[in-house]
Amino acid sequence: KQEVTQIPAALSVPEGENLVLNCSFTDSAIYNLQWFRQDPGKGLTSLLLIQSSQREQTSGRLNASLDKSSGRSTLYIAASQPGDSATYLCAESGSARQLTFGSGTQLTVLP
Amino acid sequence: DAGITQSPRYKITETGRQVTLMCHQTWSHSYMFWYRQDLGHGLRLIYYSAAADITDKGEVPDGYVVSRSKTENFPLTLESATRSQTSVYFCASSTGYSRPPRNSPLHFGNGTRLTVT
């Protein structure tokens, strides 16, 4: 069974700081990796999707990278804001034919 | 408004009762999914559907039934609810399953919080 790990489970940073969220996966046959944001009491919102043939994707202040050889993906958030506070989940799709989700990193950006 | 809607938002039911959670999407996405989210287990796939009248089991299908008579609707039924089915249920849709060449993101509803007493 494929596994996706996100460490740390929670992270607090002061406003304005650049930060990196980590995602590790065991699937060597990954097809793509998605990063999601979840606000309390809400569903997940897709932020970025990286295909296995890509190394990174960017959207505004967000940049996601994918390193298949090391089984790692990172989500870089530039100039963090209090509105970025949420839980961030990664999910990989590969040999399991369905998305395998990590447990998420709860981010708090302090004003 | 276009999007994916789930109903009800909250539901309390008793053990042994049948309950149906509704999911409706307006994008005409071919794929739809049901997940449950639990502390300590993360998101787990219950059932998914590739098109109308085509459904398949996910990781945790026992005790659940789905149907997809129309592309836009994908109801999830708990035939005889148990306390272990207390959870937050999310419906999601996608234009394509997560494989090349149709790498497309999942779009989630806001969830149904179900409590089985």
- Residue A38 in 3-state DSSP? strand
- Decide if A40 touches B, using CB distance below 8 A: no
Nearest partner of A97 among B67, B96, B75, judged by Cα? B96
Residue of B nearest to A43 (CA): B110
Local confidence band at B99 (pLDDT 50, 70, 90 cut-offs): very low
The H or E element containing residue B46 is strand B42-51
Q: How far is B109 from chain A (nearest CA, A)?
A: 5
Measured between beta carbons, the chain B residues lying within 8 angstroms of A31 are 98-100, 103
> How many of the other CB atoms lie within 10 Å of CB of B30?
18
Give the model confidence (pLDDT) of B73-98 as tens digits: 999 999 999 999 999 999 999 886 54
Contact B110 A103 (CB under 8 A): no
Measured between beta carbons, the chain A residues lying within 8 angstroms of B59 are 98
Residues B28-36: what's their mean pLDDT? 92
Rounded CA-CA distance A35/A49 in Å is 6
